[in-house]
Structure 1
Amino acid sequence: MTFATTQRRSEENRISPVFWVLLATLGTSGWAVASGFGNARFGVFLFVVAGWMVSLCLHEYAHARTAMHSGDITIGTKGYLTLNPFKYAHTLLSFVLPVIFVIMGGIGLPGGAVYIERHRIQGRLKHSLISAAGPLVNVVCGIALLVLVNSGVFDDPSLPAQYQGHDLVVSAFPSALGFLAFLQVSAALLNLLPVPGLDGYGILEPWLSYKARRAVAPFAPYGMLAVFVIFWQTGASRWFSDLVFRIIHLFGVSDAYPVVGQFLFRFWEN
């Protein structure tokens, strides 16, 4: 009985082959871009998409792991701890749409969360921490990437990024890192908005009155859609991008890195 229980827990925590494939794609494309092997723009595209999906997996994993330690013992049986994107409750919301948003507009719009049995968890602070765990992953990833770019260790004057045959001021690989950092920072900020359906509201919700939560609940499924519409139909996206760049500047990173990184990422243009 003990052996069966131990084996089951081991399987619940075993990293999925899908995640290993994402890591392999991230590492291989990163090496290709850094070494100048193959088509740089397509390499940057693969690197950013793979890196973005890895961070999404880690984002959802953080929600799930925190929920498990807070009292939801069903997390493991749902497969949330395997880092398999196909195990999450809303694969479309959690992974497909965020990748499409990156391709369309270059902003790290957050996706859906794992399904957590909240009734098993006692204490408002625990509920808030579960919601905060995901955006914290994006914060950590963003800081790590910006530190790497600022270090200059990946800048290679002999491998400058190119535009229509002209050499640019930065190399392709640190530019890819800069764009991926831009996505992480934007995802963290957007996720922390107190909008129903986003993690920011999840942090706040346990501290609201029962009446307020009931009033807001019908709008939760449309929170992310509302953010998407506002960003693409108003000037909010420009204001938001300026805010993200200001944060990037705090780490001593020039606009050139994420800007060139996004240009290289969109290999189907120009």
Structure 2
Amino acid sequence: MGLINLLTTNPVAFVIIAVALVLSLTVHEFAHAWTADRLGDPTPRRYGRVTLNPGKHLDPFGVLLLLFAGFGFARPVPINPGNLGRWGTLWVSAAGPISNLLIAVLAGLLMRMLVSVPYAAEILAVILSVNVVLAVFNLIPIPLLDGSRILGALVPSLGRSLAQFEAQPFSFVIVMLFIFIARDAIDGIIGSVQGWVEGLVGL
């Protein structure tokens, strides 16, 4: 179910989730760009991606998918693996999901501190959930997602095959079909990770 359904049934929830998604996707892509920049790859900076400006990171089609299909994506950060090497590429790929997990943990800690503040806990709970979803979703080891690039860095021969698959015009459709078919399993993993985060911060 897409976010668009909330616009008429619960507009406040729509705004909270939409803002949380925009901010979380922005931090995710910024983390990729910042890490690559720090590790010596000037490509993200050349494309203006080392910024927290959401307009530099959001993808119009990815936003439409979020609104109408319930899942979507931001604009991938361009990097040059030749400037990063195998392990640099791994860290750049992992930086996005790690940033989302850190936000989720921070949101959980703030929930404990602000439990008596009206609406704070509810808003922070949304931020926590959104970031767990983004972290888990992006760590799936299939092409076009960060998990694929992490796996490719760990197993270079497999990485070459995954990169070749990504270059095919039909790769996006196949990945979307896989996500749709495996949605129940992915939801189960998301629930487990969210439970782990909540347990970690004592919720």
Unaligned segments of structure 1, at least 5 residues: 1-40, 157-170, 254-270
- 1:128 positional shift: 0.5
Paired residues for 1:84-99 under 5 Å: 84-88=53-57, 91-92=59-60, 95-98=63-66
Please point out which of 172, 175, 193 is paired with 2:122: 175
- The counterpart of 1:51, out of the listed 5, 15, 20, is 20
| 1:216-244 deviation digits (Å, cap 9, x = unpaired) | 44375346513441255xx3355245324
Matched residue pairs, number? Answer: 189
Structure-2 change in CA distance of 1:249 and 1:72 (3 Å): closer
- The question of 1:142 aligning with 2:104 is answered yes
Q: Match of 1:209?
A: 157
* Percent identity over paired residues: 27
Residues 1:150 and 1:224: Cα distance change in structure 2 (over 3 Å): farther
Local SS of the residue matching 1:81: coil
Relative to structure 1, is the Cα distance of residues 47 and 202 closer, same or farther in structure 2, using a 3 angstrom cutoff?
same
TM-score of the superposition, structure 1-length normalised?
Answer: 0.59
Higher helix share: 2
**RMSD (Å), alpha carbons:** 2.9
Distance in 2 between residues matched to 1:241 and 1:213, nearest whole Å: 24
TM-score w.r.t. the length of structure 2 is: 0.76
**Structure 2 counterpart SS, 1:80:** coil
Task: Name the SS of the counterpart of 2:116 in structure 1.
Answer: coil
Question: Retained in 2: the 8 A contact 1:94–1:113?
Answer: no
2:181 to 230, 241, 255: 230
Cα deviation, residue 212, structure 1: 3.4
- CA 1:86–1:131 in 2, change beyond 3 Å: closer, same or farther? same
The equivalences for 1:98-113 within 5 A come to 98=66, 100=67, 105=70, 110-113=73-76
Deviations 1:154-193 (A, max 9, x none): 424xxxxxxxxxxxxxx53311211221111121111111
Unaligned runs of 5+ in 2: 1-9
